[in-house]
Amino acid sequence: MLVIPVIDIKDGKCVRSINDLEEETHYYCDSPVNVARLFRKENFKAIHITDLDGAISGEMRNYPIIREIVKSVDIPVQLGGGIRDFETAKHIIEELGVYRIVLGTAAIQNPDLVAKITSEFSPSKLVICIDEKLNNVVTDGWINFADITPLDFAKLMESNGVKRIIYQDVTRVGNFSGPFLERLVEIANATKLKITAAGGIGNYSHLKTLVDLKHPSIDSVMISRSLYENRFPCQAIWRDIERTDTSLELPKIK
């Protein structure tokens, strides 16, 4: 199970929102770049970045910071938030150097865009994020209902050439209530998609429940708030190292 740390950027800072992207925002660090470097020091193999301003407005707002992160780490970076057209997607893939892009709202509003990106760059460069609330896909920063179920949307994306999705129940985001296992299994059993689980991961036992599913399609997980708040046993070791080895110069998360 590949663990992918999440860096959500709002107003140029590293944040975590709970339930609603426009409300209940918790600021963790002034420098998303330092957070990315910390995750790399702690040996994560990939990083996910969301431009929250872009997710709400439909236009990327934190491009310079994201560019600096990509240049600062030597691991794959996937990026979502505010990517709504082919020109933006093309620029990010070819010029910014991210490993792959993540579409959510744009995939709902313009399925042809999905097919064009997978055809132009291959399916490996694209992930579709399925945000659910009450068995309905939500868009525009979790504000609007799309009137399609997560399963039906997953099947639609698969028919357009998509090979991987990120799935999360947005009512679980940031509250440590655990992943929506039943929906993950439902989508995994009904499609051939690879699935990255997200939303609700609060501790080691939640990770173990995903592993114990033993479903080959559910092969990775994205984690945010629980990492920043040191809720995993291994992080106690990392913090001890920080206190004893001043040469690491790791950023202080607040």
8 is catalytic: yes
DSSP one-letter string for 205-216: HHHHHHHHT--T
240 is catalytic: no
In the set 51, 53, 131, 169, the catalytic residue is 131
* Residues forming a β-bridge with 119: none
- Residue where the block lists tokens 């590949």: 2
What are the residue ranges of helices labelled H in the chain? 32-41, 52-57, 63-72, 86-91, 105-109, 111-121, 150-159, 181-190, 204-212, 225-228, 233-244
In the set 8, 51, 53, 169, the catalytic residue is 8
* DSSP letter, residue 27: E
Q: Is 192 exposed, middle or buried (0-12, 13-18, 19+ CB in 10 A)?
A: exposed
Which residues form the catalytic set?
8, 131
